[in-house]
Structure 1
């Protein structure tokens, strides 16, 4: 793909609730957008749909790398945003404990690893790599052990990838939301206080401002995204 615009982004998880919002916002601002997910996103300029037959990390990474190479060639992008993920509950006594942990690792750790690999090859110098952690995973998560483990691993990746000799020549940050205001979450928790849930547009706007250089972020840091009484604030937590 010959990039048509001055600014470009790869959105890993571009078909999810947050990913779709991110794709639309960047397109509205005239960025060239590549979506990576299990299904294509028709709002993006290009989509990489990972076949469901590719279940392990090595095969998925090889496939995505080939597809990105065929789209970009020697071109670089300004940002790689991994917003893939999903919540899984369960403690060690749960019948589906191992299964839920495996899903969490695939949803959060594997996607972040592939996103980092893409960024190492295609991120412009000084560009942005953002990974999706979770604020509760800064501490113990006894009722969602696998989920907390996966998100804590993502937090570790942010710090490691921001260090010298990590292979990333750009800024690396982690976003740490609590609960995102999605249709799926509203359906699952209809009695919850939605004023404490973070709108998807707030997260997308933050990622856009960081990517476009309209707001500062410090490499290697984690940023909490907290909403209280429908007001959202972002703070550096590490």
Structure 2
């Protein structure tokens, strides 16, 4: 059975990915702070650890889940992250910025490291950036900087000397707003027809994995929904 890993598999988008790929016959490993009982295995991170400590612990848990160095993943989908607003004058600017770095950048670093150790040659590594982070984000500086760092990481990982296994392809999806229960709770009056259903992203990632949907290595892919129709375009 082919195996994939969803980093952030207990979040709204992550749970959708776990469910989708399970329904397609894949074995799924969830990496998160919280368990997803639908996953075949949970590699749980711990709060308060350094990047090195967390990375080592997760790598060991994933190794145990795979059951040996010969068993490799066909894909890693890093959809961990979060959102926080605020400019440099905000009272909690430093705290929220640190949270954004931990949620988006550190998780992406660990996902990249997991790929070097556990992704099979020719596999797929997908990160999650943000379309807004292609431009200045003065009202949400920490978020924008963290997502821009993810974009830069993807471009580096696509280079031949990145350390990834031979033939691995890497990209990043750049959504605007994903249609999740939490977003609906805090933005009940927004135009939900412009929000991207998580299922649309799951189907597109399956296409990238199987080759049904083409993408160029190292590309950032905008995810834009309008009137209920989602398009994925390289930017």
TM-score for the superposition, normalised by structure 1: 0.95
Deviation at 1:106, TM superposition (A): 0.4
Q: Which secondary structure does the structure 2 equivalent of 1:235 belong to? A: strand
Deviation at 1:68, TM superposition (A): 1.1
Hey, what does 1:134 align to over in structure 2?
Answer: 130
Matches of 1:184 and 1:103 in 2, distance apart? Answer: 18
1:23 to 14, 18, 25: 18
1:44 to 16, 39, 45: 39
Question: Is residue 216 of structure 2 the alignment partner of residue 218 of structure 1?
Answer: yes
Q: Which secondary structure does the structure 2 equivalent of 1:180 belong to? A: coil
Matches of 1:103 and 1:212 in 2, distance apart? Answer: 34
Q: Which secondary structure does the structure 2 equivalent of 1:149 belong to? A: helix
Unaligned runs of 5+ in 2: none
2:175 to 151, 161, 177: 177
Deviation track 1:74-102 (CA, whole Å, cap 9, x = no partner) reads 11110011000011100001001011100
Deviating above 6 A after TM superposition, structure 1's stretches of 4 or more consecutive aligned residues are none
Hey, what does 2:89 align to over in structure 1?
Answer: 93
Matches of 2:220 and 2:232 in 1, distance apart? Answer: 10
Matches of 1:147 and 1:33 in 2, distance apart? Answer: 28
Unaligned runs of 5+ in 1: none
Matches of 2:130 and 2:145 in 1, distance apart? Answer: 10
Deviation at 1:61, TM superposition (A): 0.4
Matches of 1:16 and 1:30 in 2, distance apart? Answer: 21
Deviation at 1:59, TM superposition (A): 1.0
Hey, what does 2:121 align to over in structure 1?
Answer: 125
TM-score for the superposition, normalised by structure 2: 0.96
Deviation at 1:20, TM superposition (A): 0.2
Deviation at 1:50, TM superposition (A): 1.4
Matches of 2:49 and 2:83 in 1, distance apart? Answer: 19
Q: Which secondary structure does the structure 1 equivalent of 2:223 belong to? A: strand
Q: Give the CA RMSD over aligned residues.
A: 0.8
Hey, what does 1:146 align to over in structure 2?
Answer: 142
Q: How many pairs were matched up?
A: 231
Deviation at 1:48, TM superposition (A): 0.9
Question: Is residue 155 of structure 2 the alignment partner of residue 159 of structure 1?
Answer: yes
